[in-house]
Structure 1
Amino acid sequence: MARTASALHILVKQKELAEDIMAKLKKGAAFDVLAKRHSTCPSGKKGGHLGEFEKGQMVGPFDKICFNGELFTPHLVKTKFGWHVVKVLYRT
């Protein structure tokens, strides 16, 4: 079982914007460009890079995707902070 993960994310307040970002990613848009343009999280300035984090360090639904979701595929996740578009890079 993985104990750490690394992910990119874009945090927005509106579900519609998150869905629009997902659609752009499916059409080949660059994740880092969209993160810099839309993310309300400070990580947006770094292209959405969260670095490596431990299991249980992030809020529940976000953590679940990072440790159980498919790698390299954007996922849409709702948390108390808003809507996240999450792309898991690896797990260790």
Structure 2
Amino acid sequence: MARTAAALHILVKHESLAKDLLEQLKKGAKFQVLAKKHSTCPSAKKGGDLGEFRQGSMVPQFDKAVFKNEVLTPFIVKTKFGWHVVKVLYKT
């Protein structure tokens, strides 16, 4: 079982925008470019890069989704902060 992960994310207020961004990613859009343009998280300046973090250090919904979903396949998860488009870079 993975204990740490690294991920990129784009935080938005509306599910419809999150779904639209996910579609753009599937069509080849660059994650970091979309993060800088749309994300409301301070990590937007770094292209949505959250760096490496330990399991249990993020809000529960986000944490569970990161450690459950596949690496390098973007997905959407809702937390108390809004809608996140997430791309897990690796798990260790």
Task: Give the TM-score of the pair, scaled to structure 2.
Answer: 0.98
Say whether residues 1:71 and 2:71 are aligned partners. Answer: yes
- What CA distance in whole angstroms lies between the structure 1 residues aligned with 2:74 and 2:91? 15
Gaps of 5+ in 1: none
Residue of structure 2 in register with 1:34 after alignment: 34
One-letter code of the match for 1:25?
A: L
1:9 corresponds in structure 2 to 9
Gaps in structure 2 of 5+ consecutive residues = none
Structure 1 partner of 2:43: 43
The offset of 1:14, in angstroms, is 0.7
Q: Distance in 2 between matches of 1:23 and 1:69?
A: 17
TM score, norm. by length of structure 1: 0.98
1:12 Cα deviation from its structure 2 partner: 0.2
Say what the alpha-carbon RMSD is for the aligned residues. Answer: 0.5
Shift of 1:3: 0.9
